[in-house]
Structure 1
């Protein structure tokens, strides 16, 4: 679907490079706090509220808000750099920040302006996110005052413990609790934003990786939800972040976390091999095998990073120009899959050269390996995503008027 109305380009006092440098410096200044809170975060299976509040106080959550809404108006590339830096510090923290930041942008895509502004609040740092894919876990029935909603337990409540509203898919049902069908005979599915006072978290997240993301099951308690908290994308508020449809911000956090994990893995391998002997190799720094392998995986990181950032820059530019369409989403899917497909090689190779540094269960390297495995297993990084978008990419390569633009 092509977006026919885009926001006028924002005149920025700072260049993109200056914004990246500024926001990465702010993000990196919070690394000591993220690291000092890690043990409690791991014990409670959720990043602590102190860390989330520090991100809010630093302005990270409102950074991508349009300037007219009190934000800094940063683009996709700057936001990916922020998520990458947080994930470099700790992948669970990066995931928590990323899905709540991108999830709140999605609320601006789906809700009308008044509802969205109510979520983000006067300081622009209120949050909304949740798992809005797969089989709807609950139902919504039209009643006086809105809809009667309730759900069974639903999985993957990443970062929802820190939100203002939780998103959920719901089957629309009639007065007899039968599913309402559309003109094609398919069940009507609604997307709703639930006040956290009507959410119950089951605290059952005991994961091998991304262990501090609070991604366990939750359920929506039975209550009446006002109409304004259901998705009405036709009333979308103006602004480039909101002109990129639902899927674009959804994938952005995955890209940032994968990049952060790859970057930290390379850092750890570089440090672990400095002036080190390993077996018969007196100096790993000068070992041809190590130099070849490190150069190879570092190139993979740089290539995947460049591909992802270009896909997201193109999407942003198109949204500003009012020409955003499905082809931009396809490139984002493709670049995300490419990055994730390289992540195992980058992380496992780096871990190998870290030697005994991978052994401590609570060490940095072991945590990177475990976190990367969970990231790689996520549905949005599955090979089916690449299969889905490749036919449209083939069409580009078969069109002489388009192939030179690939």
Structure 2
């Protein structure tokens, strides 16, 4: 990896943004990140943002990780989404023994992807056997390894339980060559993410290629980052992607308003008071959402770094800020899209794809309205979210 010493994640992301912008049409057309884009992400160490330093990763604080994704998303949302997904997946390295983690993440390309929790694996001598199919594996087309979160069955088929009575869930890891990938991602937005399905049949998973995800007691790395857990890291990362998309869309609307003379209008858009007011209010909405997200992330990180504990209050705060930010980013994109008028519907202009990408983001788990219900329930019960 050829990375200039002293150059940070955000600077490296910003430096490759022109390449991503040039490749965006091909990413959309092929529904995959192009080799040039994947190569640039690898060469600049961006997939290793959250990998432990003991394995040669950056082990970045959340703020740097989020800013990196913002910069990438301004150029191409699909690239940012894949990068965010695979970067967070790499956090599982903190729960693996060093040799296993080194094999997975330091054998090029060293990229891991996984989908949603589903299905079961049966315990056998030395490991587990599994036959299953999983969905929503963003970034799987660039990955060298795949993972899956599965409930564990004992050898006799009975579900294994944790001490608190909950089902035992492990993350299993296997080379991408062990699976069959199904090309199913025909979506209105984030088209280039290759968020496909993958399947294995009677696959044996040795014990050392399994881990307890987001269980502090299972961690082998001391850094506070890994106590944050992948769920909250996904929330912060994907909210940052939404900010990048919103910033780029609003910037495009501002550039258009500076130059465009609307049909039948007496003056240029930039001189229209209604347009001026709309841009001012929308800029305020964007800045408020971004400030809230980063303030929440930084407050959480200060406490986590000082205490080593990721409190339930901070977990709730992160979820609330991330969900609200995605919704606000969608409003910013909608406003910019409508402001652009007929110009926005042409694929040659910088609105249509970002509109679709933003609304695909807003349909994901991290943006569900039920998160607001969870927070409201806590508030009404007297808890401090």
TM-score, normalised on structure 2? 0.89
Deviation for aligned residue 1:178 = 5.2
Counterpart for residue 121 of structure 1? 106
Residue 142 (str. 1) matches residue 126 (str. 2): no
Deviation for aligned residue 1:179 = 4.2
Q: 1:379 to 1:244 in 2, by over 3 A?
A: same
Give 1:215-254 correspondences, 5 Å limit: 215-232=195-212, 233=215, 234-236=217-219, 237-254=221-238
- Residue from 174, 178, 184 that aligns with 1:194: 174
Q: 1:189 to 1:74 in 2, by over 3 A?
A: closer
Counterpart for residue 162 of structure 1? 142
Question: Which ranges of structure 2 fall in alignment gaps of 5 or more residues?
Answer: none
Counterpart for residue 23 of structure 1? 9
Counterpart for residue 325 of structure 2? 339
What per-residue deviation string (whole Å, max 9, x for no partner) do you get for residues 11-39 of structure 1? xxx9xxx97xx433321221232233333
TM-score, normalised on structure 1? 0.84
Q: 1:334 to 1:216 in 2, by over 3 A?
A: same
CA distance in 2, matches of 1:388, 1:193: 32
Deviation for aligned residue 1:292 = 1.0
Counterpart for residue 402 of structure 1? none
Residue 83 (str. 1) matches residue 64 (str. 2): no
Equivalent pair of 2:46/2:83 in contact (CA under 8 Å): no
Equivalent pair of 2:182/2:196 in contact (CA under 8 Å): yes
What per-residue deviation string (whole Å, max 9, x for no partner) do you get for residues 255-297 of structure 1? 1210111101111101111132113241211211111111111
CA distance in 2, matches of 1:314, 1:108: 25
Equivalent pair of 2:51/2:93 in contact (CA under 8 Å): no
2:196 alignment partner, SS class? coil
Deviation for aligned residue 1:130 = 1.3
What per-residue deviation string (whole Å, max 9, x for no partner) do you get for residues 179-199 of structure 1? 456677765433212221212
2:141 alignment partner, SS class? helix
CA distance in 2, matches of 1:150, 1:212: 28
Counterpart for residue 316 of structure 2? 330
Question: Which ranges of structure 1 fall in alignment gaps of 5 or more residues?
Answer: 1-13, 400-405
CA distance in 2, matches of 1:391, 1:250: 23
CA distance in 1, matches of 2:310, 2:167: 29
Higher RCO (CA < 8 A, seq sep 6+): 1
2:64 alignment partner, SS class? helix
Give 1:351-366 correspondences, 5 Å limit: 351-361=337-347, 363-366=349-352
Deviation for aligned residue 1:55 = 1.0
Return 112-121 or 233-242, whichever deviates more.
112-121
Residue 275 (str. 1) matches residue 256 (str. 2): no
Q: 1:61 to 1:293 in 2, by over 3 A?
A: same
1:205 alignment partner, SS class? coil
Counterpart for residue 5 of structure 1? none
Equivalent pair of 1:159/1:213 in contact (CA under 8 Å): yes
Deviation for aligned residue 1:98 = 0.9
Equivalent pair of 2:88/2:230 in contact (CA under 8 Å): no
Residue 288 (str. 1) matches residue 273 (str. 2): yes
2:72 alignment partner, SS class? helix
1:277 alignment partner, SS class? coil
Equivalent pair of 1:132/1:167 in contact (CA under 8 Å): no
2:46 alignment partner, SS class? coil
Instruction: Give the aligned CA root-mean-square deviation in angstroms.
Output: 2.6
1:364 alignment partner, SS class? coil
Equivalent pair of 1:148/1:222 in contact (CA under 8 Å): yes
CA distance in 2, matches of 1:220, 1:186: 26
Counterpart for residue 6 of structure 1? none
- Residue from 304, 310, 318 that aligns with 2:303: 318
Deviation for aligned residue 1:41 = 2.0
Q: 1:311 to 1:110 in 2, by over 3 A?
A: farther
CA distance in 2, matches of 1:244, 1:71: 17
1:361 alignment partner, SS class? coil
What per-residue deviation string (whole Å, max 9, x for no partner) do you get for residues 199-258 of structure 1? 211011111000000012111232110111222342312212212123221212211210
Q: 1:65 to 1:344 in 2, by over 3 A?
A: closer
Deviation for aligned residue 1:122 = 6.5
